[in-house]
Amino acid sequence: MNLIIAEKPSVAVSYAKALNVTARKSGYFEGNGYIITWCIGHLAGLANAESYSENYKKWSLADLPIIPDNWQYVISEGKNKQFEVVKKLMNDKRVTEVINACDAGREGELIFRLVYEKAGCTKPIKRLWISSMEEKAIVEGFNNLRDGADYDSLYQSALCRSKADWLIGINATRLFTKLYNKKLNVGRVQTPTLAMLAERGAKISGFVKEKYYNVKLNDIAVSEKFTEQAEAENVKTSCNGQKAVVTSVKREKKTVNPPKLYDLTSLQREANRLYGFTAQQSLDYAQSLYEMRCITYPRTDSRYLTEDMSDTVKAVITALIDNLPEFEGIAGFKGNLNRVIYNVKVTDHHAIIPTAEVATAKLDELPDGERKILLLIANKLLCATSDKQEYEAVTAVIECGGNSFTAKGKTVISDGWKSIERLIKGDSKDETDEAEETTLDLTEGQSLENTVCAIAEQYTKPPKAFTEDTLLSAMERAAIEETAENTERCGLGTPATRAGIIEKLIKSGFVRREKKSLVVTAEGAELISLMPDVLKSAQLTADWENGLAQIADGTLDPVKFMSEIEELTRAVITEGKSNVNPDKVAKYEPKGAAIGKCPRCQANVHETPKAYSCACGFTLWKNNKFFENAKKPFTKEIAAALLKDGKVALDGLYSQKTSKTYSAVVCLEDKGKYINFKLEFPKKA
């Protein structure tokens, strides 16, 4: 019997349906020669620093760098029950082969392998590698399983990425937190992304606008820029009411090629421009559509399809036109697939397109977010396989009073793919659109009598704040010049992780949203000011991704890669300690009284106006819900007792259920991310 491991329960349901596995058990399906179970995302991961030594519970500069000799793995919090199900099934005597059916990519490989190793499984591995959740694609994928060993190098690449992020994140976060007595989260992708936002913020705040002038002639032509108003006035005076002559007219036939298909980043960017969706929202909507089998795998960085998909894509195009009322006007459209097929440009997955499921799915019942994303993807497929837009560009030079003016026009000859794009975008414009059509009816040698001139006063503009659209583009292109041509992924993060990085920066308080703009906060700018250049530069990520790509294709030894990361970690520690900013240390020096030791790192916990907190991030908020509901002030004395003993006996606690007071022992329960309080009651004699 074969055991199939899916990445998520919803995917396991799709596998079960496609393979006719009908018996539902506790944590798995069984039948038709298969057992199908699932992870819940990352079931297992790297252990925290404290797992390697009790000493690491206390954050100390003397212990840095922390570099494990033998890496340890733990089951993710709250996921033990499902892990035990998977482990038991992996070691079931009936199971002769394990099929890795997690997402077909680097992280999917890591999710499966860590569980496989943590469960102590040694059974043969097969690999499912598909890009669509349609039943036909699933069945075909299971009929063409690959040998798990073919992906050993991909696993090593994923494992090195995970370990490298751990080393930099753990060590740099502890280093700068201890140096400056303030929780300063550092990450290999997060920090250079924040640096880009901080740099843009500094340019905007430091921008000094400058006035300049143009002279417009007959409201069709414009002069060069003048920095002095007197220059513009002279031109206006010398030309107003005079005769002007068209000295040249240049006409050029131009074309605008159809766009490429979507990868995840380009989909997120366009959804942000058109609908204001955040990158995370677009990813969530796309993932939902994927699990509904309406689109192909969304976490892709390819914008092309493969040759063997031709017949499927033709059927999808027909289904879109027949089933989506937005496209009724292009009935009979077939599409030119040569524009989107490019085998060499397809890596783990092909571009995002709708699936044949759109022929039967109840698309009018989709939630608004999912429907908008599906329409974008459908429209992009139709545009990408349509004809070029053709237009004539006209540039005329007009001479008057010894001055030159330039006029420009554009006449559309054939709208091509642009007419299809308007089916979704309507007449709405964004900054990526070409200039609108403007007729310019001028001929060379033509005279213009009694010209009218006017001065236009304008100002230089500061750089625009990043939106999620433009930040995603900047992340994608960061350090691209330093990234090898054959590198599968370049820039900061991957298509699948960039949205999470943005959300993490916002949740951490380093960045805030202002309408569509992303603006670095004072705290974010402060953090960047403390970071060494190596951690702020996208060059680090470019170097890593080059190395990880080489590990994945088997040309770089993972041991060599990790030794270089360890060397980098030591260098960051040395540089950080050597370049401490004393003014910043003084600024972050705790102001409140120390009331006890932090249970996480053993440093002092200080009282602040709103909390009792430690530099490592451990915080007991004074206005927490437990004490508010119990109508008990969370005093310094109570907090000190909880820090010392982990519990405190209290009287006069209010019960909202009975409206009476009671006595109990309140226990501190530190979950890592969250801090809870639970009650213990004395046993009755």
For residue 682, whether the previous peptide bond is cis, meaning omega lies within 30 degrees of 0, is no
Buried b / exposed e across 285-312, counting CB within 10 Å, b at 16+?
bbbbbbebbbbbbbbbbbbbbbeebeeb
Residues 6+ apart with CB under 8 A from 90: 3, 98, 116, 119, 121, 123
Instruction: Indicate if the alpha-carbon torsion angle 130, 135, 140, 145 is positive or negative.
Output: positive
Q: Give dist(CA 21, CA 18) in Å, integer.
A: 8
Q: Give dist(CA 92, CA 304) in Å, integer.
A: 42
Residues 6+ apart with CB under 8 A from 419: none
If residue 406 lies in a helix (H) or strand (E), which one and from where to where?
strand 403-414
Q: Give dist(CA 637, CA 620) in Å, integer.
A: 13
Catalytic residue among 262, 297, 304, 588: 297
Tokens 């195009």 — which residue? 317
Q: Give dist(CA 3, CA 54) in Å, integer.
A: 38
Q: Give dist(CA 357, CA 315) in Å, integer.
A: 10
Active site residue 297: yes
Residues 6+ apart with CB under 8 A from 252: 392, 393, 394, 395
User: In a 3-state reduction of DSSP, which class is residue 179?
Assistant: helix
Relative to beta strand 611-613, strand 2-6 is: unpaired
User: In a 3-state reduction of DSSP, which class is residue 615?
Assistant: coil
Q: Give dist(CA 306, CA 342) in Å, integer.
A: 6
Catalytic residue positions?
Answer: 297
